[in-house]
A = this chain, B = another copy of it.
């Protein structure tokens, strides 16, 4: 239905089309048309309506082409160099190749649509055209590899802050790399690196955000565990503006990190984390540990105290917040 409606607007570029005409062509009521128009608007399409004239599409949704992001950019380095794709398999793969060919710190890869997005531990990450943010940031920090997880945590703080500022929604971080609203997944972060054993050559930070997806665009099983900013906010979000805000928050935190280390970032992270000061299940490669999450170390490792009072250092796990101890 949405596709048919878009086709009508495309056939009448810049012109008003009456509700009656649309309703005839699509064979549905004018109330139904109004609902579909509303949904398109939430997805980022700008549609004007005027009494006795009908509807007119002003713009096809929010653009994230380099000039649109750059016009909003306030950073020194992050996002100043951009490689943009209307569609690509994975911005991470492109960023890895750029890094090997010598791309500088702050170079970002942005895709309007990602056809084979990568999640953590080889999982998939879905992102449809025009509704998500899919991007990768190339960094060149002088770090040993075991400190790289800190950058995942730093990125989560940057994204939470940018969303709060631009969208007015307060999300929560779930260790290590998810951002949730009301327990539903909104953002995934994937940190990869090319490294020698004692120093990092490049870090590639992938950020995937559900922005303008509507509930009915998600499969029913996904709908229970994932959400989007548009669903939570009740209106469409301009992606370019949010991307620029993320770059700005990121750059500030990254500069602080390079100067003062992770100890300066850790309290900021803990302030936004749902998975600290609570009971949870941690599913590692070998076992499931239940315990009280008392915090993270300066390396970004989760500290979990089990029922016998033993503290476990969790390097990698899937976390499930327990509803009660």
Contacts and interface: CB of A to CB of B under 8 A. Distances in A.
Interface in A16-34: none
A53 to B, nearest CB: 54
28 contacts: A93-B100, A96-B100, A96-B194, A121-B196, A142-B285, A144-B315, A145-B145, A145-B146, A146-B315, A148-B195, A148-B197, A149-B197, A149-B198, A151-B197, A152-B197, A176-B197, A190-B196, A191-B197, A192-B195, A192-B196, A192-B197, A192-B201, A193-B193, A193-B194, A193-B195, A193-B197, A198-B315, A199-B316
A110 to B, nearest CB: 21
A93 B121 CA distance: 24
A120 interface: yes
Nearest to A150: B197
Given A145-B145, A199-B316, 17 more contacts: A93-B100, A96-B100, A121-B198, A144-B316, A145-B193, A146-B146, A148-B197, A151-B197, A191-B196, A191-B197, A192-B197, A192-B201, A193-B194, A193-B195, A194-B194, A195-B195, A198-B316
A12 B311 CA distance: 76
Interface of A: 93, 96-97, 100, 120-121, 142, 144-146, 148-149, 151-152, 176, 190-199, 201, 285, 315-316
Contacts of A196: 120-121, 190-193
A194 B197 contact: no
A193 B146 CA distance: 12
Nearest to A149: B197
Contacts of A120: 196, 198
Nearest to A192: B196
A138 to B, nearest CB: 14
A190 to B, nearest CB: 7
Contacts of A193: 145, 193-197
A176 B148 contact: no
Nearest to A300: B197
A95 B295 CA distance: 39
Nearest to A177: B197
Nearest to A317: B198
A120 B196 CA distance: 8
A315 B191 CA distance: 22
A201 B199 CA distance: 17
A148 B145 CA distance: 10
Contacts of A96: 100, 194
Contacts of A316: 144, 198-199
A307 B152 CA distance: 38
